[in-house]
Structure 1
């Protein structure tokens, strides 16, 4: 994240006669790249948000799944000016498809009559009018899991954290064994999460994906899918959240076989 680019974008919006209000970011192990925002960039982004009168929507579904015990502080933790609205999900930390999330929104909202409430209260009202209600059953399951583990997500997810670390480590090791030393293939090393990007020396489009799946039984996602315009034509996203370690090893071997034919 380039704070200078944020400032420039905000200036362009104002020049068009509109008012920039918020910036959406996934600072930890973002999908699809698996990249994270360094601590220095977080401070710079928060400074730009204050300067430009912007709110930052920090979406953090993957932050708990770091490869090491030491984590970079969230933007919300670093926020001293109530610029960050923190968005969380229980889909990764409790059960997939939970459709239950939460927002930490402690920004004051002044009503026309001068009364002051919190943004969280206003978001709650808007949600009640747009979705009526989140599934009570899903809420009860999530609530029960939290209560069982003392409302501590890290304790609840100790086994998941270990498993996802193991799988990401296995993916990185397999890439090193199968692609290491070949200058045509480069990949990033995420600090956690489920995703990484492999740069390849061929066009990674739908036709290539079809051949990979049909002839070698391995799936990946073209990075071009994640671009609004041109980009990512020679990059693929790999995900390791679902597979066991031996399946990851086999998948990377098959991927290597496909690349030799590509």
Structure 2
């Protein structure tokens, strides 16, 4: 999203996440700062469920407050929801679009996670009214469709047909169609969390200064570590311990995440996750002790 904004010369103002993901009050404060500086904030972009990279999700109360914030600050909400289906514990939370009574939410979805990654087919729910020259009125979804056809000459007809066939087969019920994948991803995330707990019991992680969040779904979580989790550390981890992770600093627009790493469990089978965490634990132990210096 930030890359697309740069191409279109649209200014982006980063907003930090809270403990439960995007914080409505932080969005409101950011909009006010931009306006006070002479800018015109138009929209806020967020991933409300199991966000990449943090794995965090917004509570229902926070979603309700965010909709009120959007109305107060006169903002549209770009709700990107590629991971919402993959709930590990509890039930799925309502999308912001399903709670929207003021037509402020554009809901962005993708079949890449729920059907076929290679198809690269997505969708948008945009029922906002657009008023054009001569008071011509249309829906934003229709205007976006026109722009899409002009800029990309449409998405592959074969890819669309594949996704269309899948939707017909599952009676357009993607949650049912993804039941097996939901269970598989849930097992992988539970395995990842369980292995972290096994290698870093509470006393040991307190001693080392290691902690992580526990998402209720999706593919990602973040580990806080007492050393710089940068490209140099990643290279050492790969060469000496044979395990990869992602530096969280790569995800910050204005600095941050220097002592955090992201783990993803979307691809490896449970046995590979077990081995991966074993290697990761050895790396973290060694790097933490080195950062602590001589005893």
Bin of the TM-score, shorter chain as denominator length: over 0.9
> Out of 222, 226, 231, which is 2:251 matched to?
226
Q: Aligned equivalents of 2:160 and 2:52: distance in 1?
A: 25
Q: Aligned equivalents of 2:31 and 2:197: distance in 1?
A: 41
1:37: how far off? 0.9
1:69: how far off? 5.0
Gap change, CA 1:4 and 1:259, over 3 Å in 2: closer
Q: Aligned equivalents of 2:257 and 2:36: distance in 1?
A: 31
> Out of 224, 247, 251, which is 2:276 matched to?
251
Report matched runs for 1:23-38 at 5 Å: 23-38=44-59
Give the structure 2 partner of residue 195 of structure 1. 220
* C-alpha contact 2:90 2:216 (8 A) present in aligned 1: no
Q: Aligned with 2:166: secondary structure?
A: helix
Q: Aligned equivalents of 1:230 and 1:105: distance in 2?
A: 33
1:145: how far off? 1.0
Q: Aligned with 2:135: secondary structure?
A: coil
Q: Aligned equivalents of 2:216 and 2:31: distance in 1?
A: 30
Q: Aligned with 2:118: secondary structure?
A: coil
Gaps of 5+ in 1: none
Gaps of 5+ in 2: 1-21, 288-295
Give the structure 2 partner of residue 93 of structure 1. 114
Q: Aligned equivalents of 1:186 and 1:6: distance in 2?
A: 27
Larger relative contact order (Cα-Cα within 8 Å, sequence gap ≥ 6): 1
Provide runs of 4+ in structure 1 moved above 4 Å: none
> Out of 63, 80, 87, which is 1:42 matched to?
63
Q: Aligned equivalents of 1:16 and 1:235: distance in 2?
A: 32
Report matched runs for 1:142-221 at 5 Å: 142-181=163-202, 182-183=205-206, 184-221=209-246
Give the structure 2 partner of residue 113 of structure 1. 134
Aligned-pair Cα RMSD in Å: 1.2
Aligned length: 262
